[in-house]
A = this chain, B = another copy of it.
């Protein structure tokens, strides 16, 4: 399974591509950042993010895209831009028919470090170890994007089972 993880942001969108299945060693395929100039208008920055996402999706053909779920409780200064960048990332994936999964920052931290409250450096250290890299990926947004992809690979079997169970119950009419 190949997953493209996106740590959304208007200034820097971290992107990481990871191959693997739960329970087997993982492989980093690519990592990078889509940057947009802070002096540009928001609409122009969203066009640049769209273009960058299209290039990443074309180049790596992932089977799924995992995007960090944005919360409004975050820093109010940046949260709107983060929500807008994540919208473009989700849009690019969904209109190609790719499944889009959202994972919260604590789900990602818990997946790769065992603690939902781990610090950024700990996440980067575990990403480096799990992907057998020689040095932590930089910038931090890139490490977070790889962590998202890893989280998705490890969580998706459980998520799929859950979704199947919910769908089965819906068919029986026991839940709506």
Tell whether A140 is near chain B: CB-to-CB under 8 Å: no
A79-113 vs B, CB cutoff 8 Å, 1 = contact: the mask equals: 11001111110110111000010100000000000
Chain A interfacial residues counted at CB < 8 A: 27
**Residues on the B chain within 8 Å of A41, using CB:** 94, 100
Residue of B with least CB distance to A44: B94
> How does the 8 Å CB contact mask read for A123-153 relative to B, with 1 for contact and 0 for none?
0000000000000000000000000000000
Q: Is the CB of A50 within 8 A of B80?
A: no
Of the residues B42, B72, B94, contact of A90 by C-beta under 8 Å: B42
Q: Is A76 an interface residue (CB 8 A)?
A: yes
Copy tally for this chain in the complex stands at: 2
Q: A80 contacts which chain B residues (CB < 8 A)?
A: 70-72, 79, 83
Q: List, in ascending order, chain B residues with CB within 8 A of A43's CB.
A: 90-91, 93-94, 100
| CB of A167, distance to nearest CB on chain B (Å) | 13
Residue pair B72, A76 in contact (C-beta under 8 Å)? yes
In angstroms, Cα B142 to Cα A132, docked, is: 54
Q: Please, which residues of chain B bring their CB within 8 A of the CB of A44?
A: 94
Give the complex CA separation of A44 and B72 in angstroms: 21
Q: Are B84 and A46 in contact (CB under 8 A)?
A: no
A47 at the interface (CB under 8 A from B): yes
Which residues 51-89 in A have Cβ within 8 Å of B in the complex? 70-73, 76, 79-80, 83-88
